[in-house]
Structure formats: structure tokens, C-alpha cells
């Protein structure tokens, strides 16, 4: 049975983001899969990594603290709960809006704390040798800006680039990452005809989302360089392809 973890970052379940996450849950269950949810805001997840989360915080090297807590079974309960859901999942689907040209801070904090050194990755188990090669991640993202503004030449910046650091975080863990699903022009400022048209467009999108979940295993994936594309200094080899503007030939 396919197990899906839905991670949602939004203060309100009745938002478009919340409705979209609900649709992921309904569609996943209707296909016979299991679903777990992390509604980070509603759950009160603490996204700030800090000294007093750890019993042995001598010197407070965060990676060492995380590793020690992983080795000694002292990972904070709220983080352990998130790790268990993540480890059990084949699919990890994150639902969030773009806030200030990136995911909301609580998503970053969830990564900082849950994707802990030791328990989730080590210096030997990352990228091609990451522990989570059995998992595929999908981002379902809304923007207030219009599609043209979020295009590679749009003034809001290419939304796919804004999402790249988060995608690479999961790539670091070894996960496959599907190309993101992005819905643009989501906000409550429209009035009259424009409001009605937006609501109809968003409702149609939610209805069509079933097919995305049904076809999940065939979704196109983001391209990342393989480990062997980099030399001993970690630089892209001249003969290796550049598959993202974040890592290019100079
Ligand atoms: C703090 C904040 C920052 C925002 N920054 C952006 C942004 O950088 N780019 C953008 O397109 N929309 C931005 N928006 C608009 C949101 O993306 C939009 O409200 C959201 O996608 C609507 O979906 P929702 O109804 O699920 O909240 C921002 C909204 C908030 C509240």
C-alpha cells in the first residue's frame, strides 16, 4: 500500500492551500493508499532549532547535537513524530503558498529540525547515496502573482528557481523530486466577475488534482547532477551537463 505524507504550511485549513491538501488526501485514500498529515501551523510545530532541545548541547554544534541525539535516542518527541511519518512514506507532498519569494519559514524550520544529521542523513549517505531513494517528493504551491510574472523572465522571478533550494534539500536526502505543481493568481482581492472566474478556475484545478495523484508515479521529475558529475573539490566537471542555473559552468 502506498503511504503518503502530506506536509501543509498554512495558518488556515479553509484556504486554497488547505483545500488543495485535503484534495490530495481524498485522492490518495480513494486509490487505496494510507495518508498521514503534518499540518505544521495547526500542530504548533516549533520550527526553531535551539540549544534547549538537546540534552548534550556542549558547544552547541547543531550537526553534532542532532547526531548525538540520533545515536542516544534523545531526539525531541515532536521531531521524532515527524521523522516517523516521513520514514513510513513513499510519497511526500508539501502544500504551501509562496511567501516572500520562497516557502513559508515553517517549512524551512521543519527541514532544519526533522531532516536531522545522523537520523536522516550522514556525510556518507547523501545525494546519490542518500537514505531516502525510495521516496518521491512533490510540491503543490500557490502564488499570488500571475503565471507570466512567475515565468523565467517574469518580475517575480522564476518560481521554479525559488523552489530549487527546497527541492535540492530532498535531493540531498536521496529523494526523487517531481516537477512542482504551481497554481498562480491565488488571492482574495478580486471582486465581481474576476472573483467568480478565479473561484471557478481554482475549483477546476482542485477537481483535476485527482488525476495528478492517480498518475503520481509518472509525473516528470526534476533533473539533478549525479555524484560523478563533480570533481574531488565538489565542482562540476567540464564534461558534465549543467541541469540548473544554480550549478553551472564558469
Ligand atoms: C507574507 C506573504 C508574502 C507573500 N509573498 C508572495 C510572493 O513573494 N510572491 C507571490 O507570488 N505571492 C506572495 N504572496 C501571496 C500568496 O502567495 C498568496 O496569498 C497565496 O498563494 C494564496 O493562497 P492561499 O489562499 O492558500 O493562502 C504572499 C502572501 C503573504 C501572506
pLDDT tens sequence across 208-217: 999 999 999 9
Q: Is residue 148 part of a domain?
A: yes
Count up the domains in the chain and report the number: 1
> Considering the chain, what percentage of its residues have pLDDT values greater than 90?
95
What pLDDT is attached to residue 6?
99
Distance CA(127)–CA(168), nearest Å, equals 9
Task: Measure 144 CA to ligand 1 centroid, in angstroms.
Answer: 5
State how far the Cα of 146 lies from the Cα of 157, in Å rounded to an integer.
11
Domain extent for 104: 3-219
Distance 99 CA to ligand 1 centre (A): 5
The residue whose CB lies within 8 Å of the most ligand 1 atoms, and thus the one to mutate among 22, 98, 139, is: 98
Instruction: Give me 24's grid cell.
Output: 490530495
Burial degree of 4 (CB within 10 A; 0-12, 13-18, 19+): buried
CA distance 70 to 77: 12
User: CB of 97 closer than 6 A to ligand 1?
Assistant: yes
Give the pLDDT score at 137: 99
Quick one: pLDDT at residue 206? Answer: 98
Structure confidence by residue, pLDDT tens digits, 130-154: 999 999 999 999 999 999 999 999 9
The confidence score (pLDDT) of residue 205 equals: 97
144 touches ligand 1 (CB under 6 Å): yes
In this prediction, residue 60 carries a pLDDT of 81
Write the DSSP symbol of residue 59.
G
CA of 185 to the centre of ligand 1 (A): 9
Q: How far does residue 156's CA lie from ligand 1's centre (Å)?
A: 12
pLDDT for the residue 136: 98
Specify the pLDDT at position 41.
Answer: 98
Do the domain assignments include residue 240? Answer: no
Q: Measure 211 CA to ligand 1 centroid, in angstroms.
A: 25
Nearest to 172, CA basis, from 249, 111, 236? 111
Determine, yes or no, domain membership for 118.
Answer: yes
Q: Which of 21, 23, 144, 161 to mutate to test the pocket of ligand 1 (most atoms within 8 A of CB)?
A: 144
**Is 225 within the bounds of a domain?**
no
Task: Specify if 224 maps to a domain.
Answer: no
Local confidence pLDDT in tens for the 250 residues of the chain: 999 999 999 999 999 999 999 999 999 999 999 999 999 999 999 999 998 999 876 678 999 999 999 999 999 999 999 999 999 999 999 999 999 999 999 999 999 999 999 999 999 999 999 999 999 999 999 999 999 999 999 999 999 999 999 999 999 999 999 999 999 999 989 899 999 999 999 999 999 999 999 999 999 999 999 999 999 999 999 999 999 999 999 9
> Is residue 190 within 6 Å of ligand 1 at its C-beta?
no
pLDDT at residue 186, as a whole number? 97
CA pair distance 144, 14, nearest whole angstrom = 17
Mutate to test the pocket of ligand 1, among 9, 99, 147, 202 (most ligand atoms within 8 A of CB): 99
Asked whether residue 248 is assigned to any structural domain, the reply reads: no
Residue 246 in any domain: the answer is no
Contact 19, 97 (CB under 8 A): no
How far is it, in rounded angstroms, from Cα 167 to Cα 70? Answer: 24
Span from the CA of 247 to the centroid of ligand 1 (angstroms): 28
Inside any domain, residue 174:
yes
pLDDT at 237 (0 to 100): 98
| Domain of residue 95, CATH code | 3.40.50.360
Amino acid at each position: 500500500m502506498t503511504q503518503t505524507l502530506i506536509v501543509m504550511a498554512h495558518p488556515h485549513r479553509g484556504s486554497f492551500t488547505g483545500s488543495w491538501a485535503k484534495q490530495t488526501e481524498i485522492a490518495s485514500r480513494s486509490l487505496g493508499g494510507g495518508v498521514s498529515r503534518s499540518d505544521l501551523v495547526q500542530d504548533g510545530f516549533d520550527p526553531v532549532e535551539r540549544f534547549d532541545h538537546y540534552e548534550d548541547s556542549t558547544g552547541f554544534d547543531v550537526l553534532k547535537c542532532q547526531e548525538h541525539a540520533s545515536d542516544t535516542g534523545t531526539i525531541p518527541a515532536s521531531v521524532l513524530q515527524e521523522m516517523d511519518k516521513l520514514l513510513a512514506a513513499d510519497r511526500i507532498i508539501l502544500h504551501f503558498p509562496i511567501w516572500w519569494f520562497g516557502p513559508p519559514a515553517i517549512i524551512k524550520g521543519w527541514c532544519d529540525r526533522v531532516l536531522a544529521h545522523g537520523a536522516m542523513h550522514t556525510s556518507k549517505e547523501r545525494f546519490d547515496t542518500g537514505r531516502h531513494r525510495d521516496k518521491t517528493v512533490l510540491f503543490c504551491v500557490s502564488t499570488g502573482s500571475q503565471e507570466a510574472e512567475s515565468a523565467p523572465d517574469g518580475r517575480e522571478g522564476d518560481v521554479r528557481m525559488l523552489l530549487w533550494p527546497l527541492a535540492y534539500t530532498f535531493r540531498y536526502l536521496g529523494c526523487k523530486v517531481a516537477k512542482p505543481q504551481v497554481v498562480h493568481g491565488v488571492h482574495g482581492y478580486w471582486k465581481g466577475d474576476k472573483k467568480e472566474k478565479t473561484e471557478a478556475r481554482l475549483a477546476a484545478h482542485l477537481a483535476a488534482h485527482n488525476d495528478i495523484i492517480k498518475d503520481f508515479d509518472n509525473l516528470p521529475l526534476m533533473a539533478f547532477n549525479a555524484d560523478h558529475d563533480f570533481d574531488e573539490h565538489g565542482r562540476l566537471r567540464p564534461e558534465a551537463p549543467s541541469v540548473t542555473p544554480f550549478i553551472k559552468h564558469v
